């Protein structure tokens, strides 16, 4: 049997108050609305640039996550990430049709998670990226996938950007052209 500690929740279940009683004492929930001047051009409301900039500044601290294949349930994703991420603070998570949004309490945690790269959840690849306006506008066309490669046994001379790209290119060409042998010329 659960013991309800929230008075609002107890009142809701006792059927003596409205459903809205659940949210009356929640100070983090801002439900206030204010009038916003907009111009209507050809039947379309034009949002003032100031409001767009404000929205961008609020969302730029978020990470977004998405599955390459079928999306998994919210609770499952939240529970797996909560257990697997070793972070100092906490995070808030929300979702829409295709994308999960993450806001971290501490910037170091956000940086750590981004550096860890993609995660497998129930055998499905879950990709994490920094939120951008472009990603938001094209979220139905998520076509890029970061590739994380670990290279072992190479000399430090080979770890410049050009050297690593040359090694990867040679490897990928060899990998994707299995029917054609890789020919390396002199020079």
List, run by run, the mean pLDDT of 10-residue segments along the chain (187 residues): 39 54 59 78 87 89 88 93 92 90 94 90 90 77 60 64 75 56 48
Q: How many residues does the chain have?
A: 187
Burial class from Cβ neighbours inside 10 Å (0-12, 13-18, 19+) for residue 168 reads middle
- Which helix (H) or strand (E) segment holds residue 171: the answer is helix 161-176
- Alpha-carbon distance 118 to 159, whole Å? 23
**Predicted pLDDT of residue 137:** 72
Q: Give Cα 132 distance to the centre of its chain.
A: 10
Residues 6 or more apart whose CB falls under 8 angstroms from that of 138 comprise: none
The answer to whether 10 and 4 have CB atoms below 8 angstroms apart is yes
Instruction: Please tell me the predicted confidence (pLDDT) of residue 168.
Output: 73
pLDDT of res. 76: 95
- Computed from CA positions of residues 27, 28, 31, 36, in that sequence, does the dihedral angle turn out positive or negative? positive
pLDDT of residue 39: 84
| Total-model pTM | 0.58
The confidence score (pLDDT) of residue 158 equals 62
Domain range 56-144, CATH class:
alpha beta
CA-CA-CA-CA dihedral for 168, 172, 173, 179, to nearest 10:
150
Comma-separated ranges of CATH 3.30.70.330 domains in the chain: 56-144
What is the rounded (10 degree) CA torsion for 179, 146, 127, 60? Answer: -160
């Amino acid at each position: 049997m659960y013991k309800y500690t929230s008075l609002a929740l107890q009142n809701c279940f006792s059927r003596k108050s409205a459903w809205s009683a659940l949210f009356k004492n929640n100070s983090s929930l801002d439900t206030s609305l204010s009038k916003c001047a907009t111009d209507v051009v050809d039947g379309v409301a034009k949002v003032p640039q100031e409001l767009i900039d404000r929205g961008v500044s609020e969302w730029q601290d978020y990470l977004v996550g998405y599955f390459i294949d079928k999306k998994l349930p919210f609770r499952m994703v939240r529970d797996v990430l909560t257990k697997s991420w070793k972070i100092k603070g906490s995070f808030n998570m929300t979702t829409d049709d295709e994308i999960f949004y993450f806001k971290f309490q501490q910037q170091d945690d956000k940086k750590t998670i981004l550096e860890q790269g993609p995660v497998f959840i129930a055998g499905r690849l879950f990709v994490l990226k920094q939120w951008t306006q472009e990603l938001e506008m094209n979220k139905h066309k998520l076509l890029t996938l970061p590739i994380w490669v670990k290279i072992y046994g190479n000399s430090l001379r080979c770890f410049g950007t050009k050297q690593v790209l040359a090694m990867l290119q040679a490897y990928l060409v060899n990998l994707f052209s299995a029917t054609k042998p890789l020919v390396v010329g002199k020079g």
